[in-house]
């Protein structure tokens, strides 16, 4: 009988630890800060964020196109829900050139996601290499 009681406490402890871990993962999204803001044209502003998921992970740089009327604080409140990145990379030194309303990006590092959608009010050119 004593072994059954100990087993129940061990199972209960493991369940509590599992629920706590799942809660931390769900409620602890990647922390993002605005790294750079560039005006592309009268209808679009480029926001670059630096994201960190913790001390043991590399930074992720995400690129967003938003309306120029949006403030930094409103942008950060809605990032991930209303605003989705078109580029995610590990390169902190991504070269950004804006010519005639077109965005030219040169990335040296990992590109995790890139979407050159037709819904943007600009043209995006990406030149990427792993080194």
Whole-Å CA distances, 60 to 18, 20, 88: 27, 26, 7
pTM of structure: 0.72
- Alpha-carbon distance of 128 to 105, in angstroms, equals 8
* Residues 127, 116 contacting (CB under 8 angstroms): no
| pLDDT tens by residue, the chain, 131 residues | 567 777 788 778 788 887 776 665 555 456 788 889 999 988 899 999 998 866 667 789 999 999 999 898 899 888 878 888 999 998 989 999 999 888 999 999 899 999 887 567 788 999 988 87
Is the torsion defined by CA of 18, 24, 29, 35 positive or negative?
negative
Query: What residues does each domain of the chain span?
Result: 31-129
* Residues 45, 67 contacting (CB under 8 angstroms): yes
């Amino acid at each position: 009988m004593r072994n059954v009681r100990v087993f129940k406490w061990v199972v209960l402890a493991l369940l509590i630890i599992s629920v706590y871990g799942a809660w931390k993962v769900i409620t602890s999204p990647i922390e993002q800060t605005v790294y750079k803001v560039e005006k592309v044209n009268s209808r679009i502003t480029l926001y670059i964020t630096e994201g960190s998921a913790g001390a043991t992970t590399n930074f992720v740089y995400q690129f967003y196109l938003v309306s120029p009327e949006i403030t930094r604080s409103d942008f950060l409140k809605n990032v991930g829900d209303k605003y989705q990145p078109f580029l995610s990379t590990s390169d902190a030194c991504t070269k950004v050139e804006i010519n005639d309303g077109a965005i030219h990006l040169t990335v040296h590092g990992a590109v995790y996601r890139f979407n050159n959608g037709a819904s943007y009010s600009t043209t995006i050119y990406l030149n990427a290499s792993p080194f």
